[in-house]
Amino acid sequence: MDTNSLKKALLLMLVIVTIALVSWEIRLRKIGVQPTFDAGDVLWSDKRAMVYEPKDKVTVFIGSSRIHFDIDIPTWKTATGKQVVQLGIDGSSPMPVLTNLADDPNFKGNLIIDITEGLFFSTSPFNMEEPNKGLKYFKDRTYAQKASFQINKVLESRFAFLDKENFSMNAYLAELHLQNRPKVFEMPIWPWQFSGASFDNQAIMYPVFVSDTNLQVRVRNIWAMFAKMGEKDVPMHGKELDSLLNVVKVSVDKIKSRGGNVFFTRTPSSGPYLIGEQMGFPRDKYYERVLATTGCQGMHFQDYASTKNMICPEWSHLDQPQAVVFTKELIRVLRDEKGWKL
């Protein structure tokens, strides 16, 4: 092939790629997709590196997906004038991150820990996998990876199609829903409308999800599937629970001994999900024991008029308007009732 033909091939390649990407982006925007950030190890590590700000400037949140959805970061920033470091990781126990922060002598800040009972009171390796992966990435990340993150940030903030979870090749292939052999576990697929992540690592439920009950039912079915999978598991109790509470206390004490503050919160859930949680993990035997063992204060959503009747569209997470309300109430409780200087 002569130089001229090679140049024509290069040009054709560029034209096809450009047209395909632009068309794809336009199509996604038309159906309401907005640019979001991949809430994976890379974004998480960027936030993890921010925990060292003085405690009068930043509050760190850890937990699972509920804290991810339920803390509205712009609201927090506006109301307090301070930063939020969101370290919640979906579907996981906060224990590895709590231990990591407790063992980090440079962390001396405000820490708020969400209690989603099924995940908090668990030692299942599966629930530790993602936090441990995130912590490993944070520890091992190279200068090149940090630089790539900065470039990626610019691209992800502009292009909706850059969403691995929902619009990558594997995400589309998963939509084929091929029948699996018996006993083969396959992660369910959440509808893309369920949520997107902001650069602050806040999960935000799309308005289209809030208004579409079919989509909500789809996600509720996923929770039901998980509940069915775990129906034979007996909630942690006895010595196992004592041991876990001891680990929490040791970590909390370490943070407090360095001048840090630790606070627990029970974010809202509703419907059958809440009923199941109340049956499996009665408040007095679990949530209250955490507070009693650690000597920390907490905020249970059922204790406050503005939050106790919150309805989660898919039973487990708040939509953004409710997240704003919950965040404001949390700030009020911390300031007015618990004496935090926010």
Contacting residues toward another protein, per CB under 8 A: 1, 3, 5-13, 16-17, 20-21, 38, 40, 42, 142-145, 147-148, 151-152, 155, 162-164, 167-170, 173-174, 176, 178-184, 186
Angle between helices 213-229 and 271-280 (to 10 degrees): 20
Nearer residue to another protein within complex by CB, 57 or 146: 146
Query: The tokens of 77 are what?
Result: 């920033």
CA distance 24 to 255: 48
> 301: which 2 tokens?
């959503």
Which of residues 10 and 225 has its CB atom nearest to another protein in the complex? 10
E-state strands within the chain: 58-62, 83-86, 110-114, 196-197, 203-204, 261-266, 297-300
In the complex, minimum distance from the CB of residue 248 to another protein, in angstroms, rounded to a whole number: 28
Residue with Cβ nearer another protein (159 or 304): 159
Tell me if residue 195 falls in helix, strand or coil. Answer: coil
Q: How far is the CB of 170 from another protein (least distance, A)?
A: 6
Q: Tokens 């909706």 belong to which residue?
A: 160
Task: Kindly state the tokens that stand for 92.
Answer: 């996981």
Tokens 């409710």, located at residue: 322
Shortest Å, Cβ 164 to another protein: 4
Closest CB 142 distance from another protein, rounded Å: 5
Of the pair 124, 302, the CB lying nearest another protein is at 124
**58, β-bridge pairs:** 83
What would the DSSP string read from start to end of 224-261? Answer: HHHHHHTTTSPPP-HHHHHHHHHHHHHHHHHHHHTT-E
Query: Given the complex with another protein, which of 11 and 275 has the nearer CB atom?
Result: 11
Nearest approach in angstroms of CB 227 to another protein is 22
Q: What does residue 289 show for φ and ψ, rounded to 5 degrees? A: -70, -35
Q: Residue 91 region, left (φ>0) first, then alpha (ψ -120 to 50), else beta? A: left
Instruction: CB nearer to another protein: give 3 or 106.
Output: 3
Residue 99 beta carbon to another protein: minimum distance, rounded to whole angstroms: 19
Chain-centroid distance, C-alpha 188: 17
Q: Cβ 92 to another protein, closest distance in Å?
A: 18
Which of 99/145 has CB closer to another protein?
A: 145
